[in-house]
Chains A and B, each alone.
Chain A
């Protein structure tokens, strides 16, 4: 019984809002604000009316959605590698952050979308430009959280590792990174949502395919139900990606006492 009520509690407001939106849109009959049922219908036509051989998926799924997802994941993964790698190095070095701190503070203060024109000039229209935008915009939360996280290794933990003559590779992978992981994950979640935003922004400006391009294109040809369908899709993607990352996080941070307690509670229900 508990899971059902829990689900209702969590989602009732959401469905209530959708119903209200439906009613309001039907009453207003405004072409700019189609009712959710129309948006869903359009979405079905856009993506799920393809041939049976393609699992009913249309060309748009393969030509727009998948490339966009590829850019998000590609850019985000690069940001993760750069952020965690550089962050670990800088965080454990005594003076590293003293040198690069002001530079980082300046660079991350620049709103990433404003750099799209710069990257457009540098890389012209294409995937590298989009990746550069995503990486540049989403690397900061990972980098700074990693720096913070790898510093959370306590003196006793450091001395313990030292007293066992822990080789560098074990020290980093078995002590420093696990200690930093809770903070790193906080950065990862923030940066993943940034990556999604920047993917759309970069596609709106310079692209011939992708979710952002289709969104702008639908608006320009006054196809508002399609425009809304793309917006809803972005919401669904953002929600799904975050849920996926949360699941990974829960698995990897299983050792934390508070999480273990929370899990014991949920399994006890």
Chain B
């Protein structure tokens, strides 16, 4: 065995090494860059460059047409900290994140536990739970605006049929955000559900068999085996969900346009309005960077948390 392996390796290596050494040292050294080049070109053009030019713009008084280009220094950044609209829209984003993340994690887990079965029922359950996720935001919001419609919408129809008072969901300040959260949970919980499902299916059946032999009942198996084994997945899902929720824009823009009275306007919508309605490119860029910093802080904090947990295990 030990004698047989070396000869198998040696005939393969010398020819390539010799070829590279004598014929094409340049190609051997830099050739790999060609594989990376197409992606790199697009990455530089459509990610790196906008990041840099956005930062550059944030020091200028730039309008969308790029006509006025007056150096402001840190003025945009100072304005940002004194602008109540920045803080209220940031607060709305955080409120949305805080309201949407717990149900999006817990319901996903419940769904995965319920749908982890084979056969037709399993297929139907997986289809029903995940189907909304594949719909475009616009389709989702068209349906839900109709569902929340006062007078003859589904929710209010059921409320009045049950003898309750009607609620104008999307036009009432402390109901609009809840309505958006409900829609979001319905729409996007499927993705977290699939992550949990994959993790559940990765738990070896022997673990449960061993537990059953030791006399563990269903509830004990759930709380002592399944949930602890899912803790890493839960961590992953919470991170992904926090970052996804912080990016909220589509549903709110389409359902309430940030109203009533800016009560649901998230930070990205304020960036959008500043840049594309008020044409204040420089200022919009500065707000973008504030938002970017928050995303990075969340991601890095979570990464730290994760690597710490990884060592503990």
**Chain B binds chain A:** no
B residues touching A (Cβ–Cβ < 8 Å)?
none
